[in-house]
Amino acid sequence: MTPRHFGVLPTGEAVELYTVANASGASAEVLTYGCIVRSLRVPDREGRLSDVALGFDSLQAYVEGRAYHGAVVGRIAGRVGAGRLLVDGHELRLPLNDGPNHMHGGRRGLDRRVWSALPTAAPPGASSLRLSYVSKNGEQGYPGCVSITVTYTLTAANALVVETEAASDRPTPVSLTHHGYFNLAGEGSGTVLDHELSVNAEAYVPADDSMAPSDRRESVEGRGADLRRPRRLGDALPDIDGAHGDLYLLRAAGEPLPAAPTPAASVSDPASGRVLLVSTNEACLQVYTGVELKGTRAGKSGVPYGPHAGLCLECEGYPHAGRTDAFGDILVRPGLPQSRRTVYAFATDRKVHSPQPA
């Protein structure tokens, strides 16, 4: 797994690109900038490989962009209302970078850092890349020095496994997610409005007027957020608030996180026959329909990414640490590291199977 040079940041830091491939020819390209998955090539029902991840050909496009294409975001994924959290009874105020909210770790979160990368052992027919970064005390307003690793594994069965680990020298909130935009018909092929989406969740958290989580658990029954049965995304959008997507609660109130991933969502594209099965041991799933993509920047195929050019399925913890215990705990404490796993398993409608952890 020999890296190639991808570019140099204004800071003078070099960014490398690694290719993770499996024995059947599927592959993913990963940048050391932001742990970005730049491309992800998987087969359709006829066995033809196409890139299903939105991304760019230049480092400059990622530096100038604000849509988090393919990156790992944090320290906290999602919006923190008013930037205020509670850590062991003490109020933490994070800098605001999204109107009245703190979002995705701040103006220079983990998506805008250069990570160290090292190929690591993988199961037969698979390959893995481990990336690491040390987030210093006070970075983007967060307490504690946190050692973070992200491991990408492309399995022999065409599953992209995302494993995160975090250890801290003091109590601090950590909730990471992979912010990949998927288009199962192929990036640059148009919108995902014909994709069929289902989410394995009985409850969700409505957003407030600023798009921050409201801290209320509500049933999806009778709501636009109800995706327990597959729906064509284009048909569901008029029922979804702002056509944006919702934050789903994957666990019952007080239910501990499972050790192994459980099914969270599925997406299918009738045209290509590709199917994406998502499983995770996280507490939440944020669905984002890509409604705010502006179409001002062309992707790898030369086609601009406009609204709904890709779909994000962000497996994460609940962002409001300390405000409520019912949605799970994202605090990392000394001697108690955090470990999470999400599986994006690709199949086709000729052979659909449940995603299995690596």
Can you read off the two tokens belonging to residue 43?
A: 């087969």
Domain membership flag for residue 49: yes
Domain membership flag for residue 54: yes
Q: Taking a C-beta distance cutoff of 8 angstroms, is the pair 197, 227 a contact?
A: yes
Domain membership flag for residue 275: yes
In terms of pTM, does the model score above 0.75? Answer: yes
Can you give the C-alpha Rg of the chain in angstroms? Answer: 19
Catalytic residue among 69, 179, 308, 320: 179
Domain membership flag for residue 313: yes
Domain membership flag for residue 196: yes
Domain membership flag for residue 45: yes
Q: Taking a C-beta distance cutoff of 8 angstroms, is the pair 200, 265 a contact?
A: yes
Beta-strand pair 218-219/203-205: antiparallel
179 is catalytic: yes
Domain membership flag for residue 171: yes
Domain membership flag for residue 93: yes
**Residues with pLDDT less than 50, the chain:** 354-358
Residues 192, 203: Cα–Cα separation, whole Å: 24
pLDDT tens for residues 281-336?
A: 999 999 999 999 999 989 999 999 999 999 999 999 999 998 887 899 999 999 99
Residue-number span of the structural domain to which 226 is assigned:
4-348
Can you read off the two tokens belonging to residue 197?
A: 């989406």
Catalytic residue among 165, 187, 196, 314: 314
CATH of the domain at 237: 2.70.98.10
Q: How many domains does the chain have?
A: 1
Q: Taking a C-beta distance cutoff of 8 angstroms, is the pair 284, 255 a contact?
A: no
244 is catalytic: no
pLDDT tens for residues 246-266?
A: 999 999 988 999 999 999 999
Q: Which residue, 278, 358, 299, is CA-closest to 39? A: 299
pLDDT at 353: 52
pLDDT at 357: 46
